[in-house]
Amino acid sequence: MEEFRPAKKRVEVSVGESVRIIRELQELSQRQLAELTGIPQATISAIENGRVNLGVERAKVLARALRCHPAVLVFPGWELQTEKAA
């Protein structure tokens, strides 16, 4: 079997960009996401544009509405280094 080679990282994604990307993949407007979460549309816009920190509690609320794990929103660039077994 050929050895696994991880894909190269192509772009850096911020927390706000990850929220926007997932929201758009769900085909939701900021207004629709605001209605689903109770988070004001202006706050969602501020999160997506990096003017307001996401925070754990907001991440949980948004993740439920976007049907993803909160870590996807909070740690968009996370990479797990794997070690080879002996």
Where along the chain do its domains lie? Answer: 15-74
Burial class (CB in 10 A: 0-12, 13-18, 19+), 13: middle
The pLDDT profile of the chain, 86 residues, written as one tens digit per residue, is 577 777 676 778 899 999 999 999 999 999 999 999 999 999 999 999 999 999 999 999 999 999 999 999 998 877 766 666 55
CA–CA distance, 43 with 83 (Å, rounded to integer): 40
Interatomic CA distance for residues 7 and 63, integer angstroms: 26
Closest listed residue to residue 69, CA positions, set 28, 18, 13, 33:
18
**pTM, entire model:** 0.78
Q: How far apart are CA 38 and CA 33, in angstroms?
A: 8
CATH level 3 topology of 15-74: 434 Repressor (Amino-terminal Domain) (1.10.260)
